[in-house]
Amino acid sequence: MPTHAPDTVMDTLRAADPEVATIVAAEAERQETTIELIASENHASPAVMAAAGTVMTNKYAEGYPGRRYYGGCLHHDAIERLAQERAKKLFGCSYANVQPHSGAQANMAAFLATMDPGNTFASLVLKDGGHLSHGMKINFSGIFYNPVHYALHYDKAHPEHERIDYDSVRAVCKEHKPRVLLCGYSAYPRVIDFARFREIADEAGALLVADVAHIAGLIATGVHPSPFPHAHVVTTTTHKSLRGPRGGLVMTNDEELSKKINKALFPGIQGGPLMHIVAAKAVALGEALTHEFKTYQQQVVANAQTLAGALSAHGYRITSGGTDNHLMLVDLTARDAELTGKDAEGWLEGAGIITNKNGIPDDARSPMVTSGLRLGAPATTTRGFGEPEMREVAAWIDRVLSAGLKGADELARTTETVRAEVRDMCARFPLPHAAH
């Protein structure tokens, strides 16, 4: 059975805990035989996963290199410093904290470093492409801080204009005088003008925080403009387009802010860092510094644009008229008014195509139903897909959704056929960690 780890590792796991080994093997088989189109997911390299499974997990290393609260951290200091230096080189910044367990905790550290509880910050609302940690009332960002929101430019007569409305950003900041202006999104397919955001932040006397979790890999390779030197603080995840382990980073060029960020993260919100993940981050950041990684990111954008164009040709509307990065939002109602994101996600998963339902701008449906899908190209590009394969994926998506609209019998027949074709495609383009 194919596995996500060398045979010796899986053999050890099978011998020690067959139940867990069975579940891990099943997940390995699922990933290896399905097409991953969720924009926030990717397939880490064998080296990244190897680092995440090392003895670095056995050590507490509370504090920072050279200032730990435990002895025996010599090698943990070395790996953390290496990760920091690689992050600084990759993103062109002066300070990097590599300890956040996630992007949300990176954002929490940035908030604690730049604001006091109750302070106001401006962001894009989740339903228009923001993030849970950008001001949702059920999240720390909306519980302890006061979010105000700027808008997308949305004109029903010209839906391709679904882009950041910088006039709205300026107006909101002028009215509310936020302490922080937050940009960077989880479902926005266009280039972000960081320089323009900084201009507006300066006018309002605000600090600019950029959450680039989705586009970090593109930024690292120059495929998308960098938030530096414009942003005061930059947060990101290390998975998604950066293709590392699950985790976060916080970066800045400001020495005083770096001290506040470090203090906010530890002891503010975290205890001991996950040093095996820090090691894996170091590996991923090293991979991202290679020429091959830049070529990969260029192909990610080309693949996303090809998929968007092919779906448009099949009658689906791509919000904002296309994509400049790794993801797109597909308006399913343009294909059929009754088609929902929830149905589309379920039908496609049955055919081995993994997506996530997502609201579209001005969506009348609830977040649990939605009128759209968010699709991304990082994971398929990691497999080696090019433009021809992305056009074939678009055709499969249309075949499955068209069959679903015709009824259960047609859906069942089409799903079975497409699932077999997807398996064949995946076999031709195996995951990097499946080839051992």
pLDDT per residue as tens digits for the range 258-276: 999 999 999 999 999 999 9
Write out the residue limits of the CATH 3.40.640.10 domain(s) in the chain.
Answer: 55-288
Q: Which residues pair with 318 in a beta bridge?
A: 330
- Catalytic (active site) residue 163: no
Q: 290-301 pLDDT, tens per residue?
A: 999 999 999 999
55 vs 435, more confident: 55
Alpha-carbon span 261 to 111, nearest angstrom: 9
Q: Annotated catalytic residue: which of 29, 41, 62, 387?
A: 62
Q: 171-226 pLDDT, tens per residue?
A: 999 999 999 999 999 999 999 999 999 999 999 999 999 999 999 999 999 999 99
Plot region of 155 (φ>0 → left; ψ -120 to 50 → alpha; else → beta): beta
pLDDT band at residue 374 using 50, 70 and 90 as cut-offs: very high
Residue 127: the pLDDT is 79
Statement: residue 1 has pLDDT above 50:
no
Identify whether the C-beta of residue 6 lies closer than 8 Å to the C-beta of residue 47: no
Identify whether the C-beta of residue 97 lies closer than 8 Å to the C-beta of residue 109: yes
Statement: residue 436 has pLDDT above 50:
no
Statement: residue 434 has pLDDT above 80:
no
- Catalytic (active site) residue 203: no
Q: 338-353 pLDDT, tens per residue?
A: 999 999 999 999 999 9
Q: Annotated catalytic residue: which of 3, 34, 114, 237?
A: 237
Alpha-carbon span 174 to 87, nearest angstrom: 34
Q: What's the CATH code, domain 291-434?
A: 3.90.1150.10
Identify whether the C-beta of residue 336 lies closer than 8 Å to the C-beta of residue 307: no
Q: Annotated catalytic residue: which of 211, 331, 343, 389?
A: 211
Residue 85: the pLDDT is 98
In degrees and rounded to multiples of 5, residue 337 shows phi and psi of -60, -25
Residue 5: the pLDDT is 46
Write out the residue limits of the CATH 3.90.1150.10 domain(s) in the chain.
Answer: 291-434
- Assigned token pair, 233: 């603080």
With pLDDT > 70 as the criterion, what percentage of the chain qualifies? 96
Alpha-carbon span 51 to 60, nearest angstrom: 17
Statement: residue 6 has pLDDT above 70:
no
- Catalytic (active site) residue 62: yes
Residue 184: the pLDDT is 95
Statement: residue 405 has pLDDT above 80:
yes
Q: Annotated catalytic residue: which of 240, 260, 317, 335?
A: 240
pLDDT band at residue 317 using 50, 70 and 90 as cut-offs: very high
Q: Annotated catalytic residue: which of 14, 59, 60, 199?
A: 60
Identify whether the C-beta of residue 350 lies closer than 8 Å to the C-beta of residue 419: yes
Tell me the CA distances in angstroms from 31 to 276, 365, 379, one per residue in order: 23, 30, 10
Alpha-carbon span 100 to 89, nearest angstrom: 19
Pick the CATH number of 55-288 from 3.40.50.620, 3.90.10.10, 3.40.640.10, 2.60.120.10: 3.40.640.10
Residue 134: the pLDDT is 87
Q: Using alpha carbons, select from 231, 261, 233 the residue that is nearest to residue 100.
A: 261
- Catalytic (active site) residue 185: no
- Catalytic (active site) residue 60: yes
Residue 130: the pLDDT is 81
Q: 71-106 pLDDT, tens per residue?
A: 999 999 999 999 999 999 999 999 999 999 999 999
Statement: residue 239 has pLDDT above 50:
yes
User: What does the mean pLDDT of the chain come to?
Assistant: 95
Q: Is the dihedral of CA 100, 102, 103, 105 positive or negative?
A: negative
Q: Which residues pair with 180 in a beta bridge?
A: 121, 207
Mean pLDDT of 152-174: 86
Identify whether the C-beta of residue 189 lies closer than 8 Å to the C-beta of residue 327: yes
- Catalytic (active site) residue 170: no
Alpha-carbon span 226 to 279, nearest angstrom: 25
Mean pLDDT of 394-408: 98
- Assigned token pair, 192: 């972000």
Q: In three state form, how does the secondary structure of the chain look?
A: CCCCCCHHHHHHHHHHCHHHHHHHHHHHHHHHHCEECCCCCCCCCHHHHHHHCCHHHHCCCCEECCEECCCCCHHHHHHHHHHHHHHHHHHCCCEEECCCCCHHHHHHHHHHHHCCCCCEEEEECHHHCCCHHHCCCCCHHHHCCEEEEECEECCCCCHHHCEECHHHHHHHHHHHCCCEEEECCCCCCCCCCHHHHHHHHHHHCCEEEEECCCCHHHHHCCCCCCCCCCCCEEEEECCHHHCCCCCEEEEECCHHHHHHHHHHHHHHHCCCCCHHHHHHHHHHHHHHCCHHHHHHHHHHHHHHHHHHHHHHHCCCEEHHHCCCCCEEEEEHHHCCCCCCHHHHHHHHHHCCEECEEECCCCCCCCCCCCCEEEEECHHHHHHCCCHHHHHHHHHHHHHHHHHHHHCHHHHHHHHHHHHHHHHHHHHHCCCHHHCC
Alpha-carbon span 435 to 432, nearest angstrom: 6
Mean pLDDT of 373-386: 98
pLDDT band at residue 9 using 50, 70 and 90 as cut-offs: confident
Identify whether the C-beta of residue 245 lies closer than 8 Å to the C-beta of residue 239: yes
Pairing type for strands 353-354 and 120-124 reads unpaired
Q: Annotated catalytic residue: which of 179, 246, 281, 383?
A: 246
Cut 0.75: pTM above it: yes
* Side chain identity, residue 195: A
